[in-house]
Amino acid sequence: MASPPAGHIVAMGGGGFLMEPENPLLDDFVLGLARRKPARVCFLPTASGDAASTVARFYRAFSGRSIPSDLTLFESSVLPRRPPKTTDLPSFVAEHDVFYVGGGSTANLLALWRLHGLDRLLRDACRAGAVLAGVSAGMNCWFEGSVTDSFGGLGPLADGLGFLEGSACPHYDGEPERRPTYRRLVGSELADGYAADDGAALHFVDGALVEAVSSRPSASAYRVEGRGSEVIEERLPVRYLGTGAT
């Protein structure tokens, strides 16, 4: 794996404005890491096919507490649909403090980003101090591999961006087949890695896990490793971000 980009990556198993619109704790955590206030936040809805409904939900969630914009790649050109309008994708990316990736097809996301060179631009942005964050496919994409439903049923995807070492599994408690599928694949088709429940997020700095945080008191995160014929699942300490958090 190439050396990880310096900077913050927040990988959410589930939650944020797309899954918990009345619970802003994870989104507040991401905004709190931004280098500038108010943060310039770019939403990347690629995994959902740039669905207009997810873009609208993003603006409802982030307007008034950040400077929001979105970048769509399924249109005829690589132009943000909201100001600032630019044909210069590198300059547009460099302007932003946070990149927030929505859920959907991890495979489609990776293909479109690579086609337009956005993968390289995001690596450069992270090195320059931008925060990379996302939920579901927006968790998977940063790792070398992941469990995805991009091809129909759940299966392995071993061609992630590799900004983070190992593999990932979101929705660990939210979808019944996620946990057994990941446990079956780790150590065979996927490298050791991390799993996160809905409402849990893993915060990495310079490629190293700093902590796990959550928007729900019961949400958990795990380190999952294959050791011979066994799979070892270690529950990680999780810091609840809500009332009574310490």
d(CA 167, CA 145): 4
Distances, alpha carbon 30 to alpha carbons 16, 35, 224, in Å: 10, 11, 24
What distance in Å separates the CA atoms of residue 238 and residue 246, rounded to the nearest whole number? 11
The answer to whether 136 is a known catalytic residue is yes
Q: From CA 232, how far away is CA 119, in angstroms rounded? A: 32
96 counts as catalytic: no
How many whole angstroms separate alpha carbon 73 and alpha carbon 95? 18
Contact 166, 223 (CB under 8 A): no
Terminal CA-to-CA distance of the chain, rounded, Å?
36
Q: Are 108 and 46 in contact (CB under 8 A)?
A: yes
CA dihedral of 161, 134, 7, 185, whole degrees rounded to 10: -50
Q: Exactly one of 48, 66, 69, 136 is catalytic; name it.
A: 136
Structure letter (DSSP) for residue 96: -
Catalytic residue among 105, 171, 203, 215: 171
Residues carrying an active site annotation: 136, 171
